[in-house]
Amino acid sequence: MKLALSLLTLTASRILGVLGSPALQTSNVTTHPVHGFTAFDVSESVDAAPAPLVPAHKDAAPVVAASTHYWVCVAVSTSSGHYGWSRGGSESSALQNAKKQCGKSDCKSYSCIEEGCVGIDFGSTYVALSYARGYGKNDGSKAASTALSTCKKKSKGCAKAGYFCAARIY
């Protein structure tokens, strides 16, 4: 009975996610103070590009290209604060590339979202990651605003929140 109820709850939450109910979430990274560490400027954000439309054949209506990157991930190093980000056709491919872009062995703290944006802000000893989905073109500003707010609660020096978005946002 408990299993059936758990599965029903999980199914309902997945259905609501597909229907575009707004999602705003934070995940946090506490970094160790690094001598000479300067927070990275992510204020120049990478917004979603419109998905390319490709006709299946000359008389068919255009469809979204198969290579469209629906996922975006940001991975952060807990020792240095370095980060990497990537878009991908799946969560695993976007996350793998984000960790690779991060370039450190401890880039294990991350945030991923499908058809939304990941926000990031750095403090002196804290990195805030957040994501937003369901706000359409406002996904980026919502994610960045949440990252900034969370970072300011936990650290000093937070002020240049940025965001990275999947290539397709509804």
For residue 2, what pLDDT is reported?
A: 46
Read off the pLDDT of residues 8-50 as tens digits, 9 standing for 90 and up.
443 333 333 434 445 555 554 554 444 444 555 565 567 665 4
pLDDT value for 27: 53
Does 52 score more than 70 pLDDT? Answer: no
pLDDT at 140 over 70: yes
- Identify the residue with better confidence: 167 or 83: 83
- Domain coordinates in residue numbering, the chain: 22-165
Residue 148 confidence (pLDDT) above 70: yes
Instruction: Judge whether residue 109 has pLDDT over 70.
Output: yes
Does position 113 have pLDDT exceeding 90, yes or no?
yes
* Position 92 pLDDT exceeds 90: yes
Question: pLDDT category, 51, cuts 50, 70, 90?
Answer: very low
Predicted TM-score of the model (pTM) = 0.70
pLDDT of residue 42: 61
Confidence grade of residue 79 (pLDDT, cut at 50, 70, 90)? confident
**Complete DSSP assignment for 121-159:** EE-SSEEEEEEEESSGGGHHHHHHHHHHHHHHHH-SS--
Q: Which residues of 112-148 are buried (b: 16+ CB within 10 A; e: fewer)?
A: bbbbbbbbbbbbbbbbbbbbbbbbeeebbbbbbbbbb
81 pLDDT more than 50: yes
Element of type H or E holding 110: strand 109-114
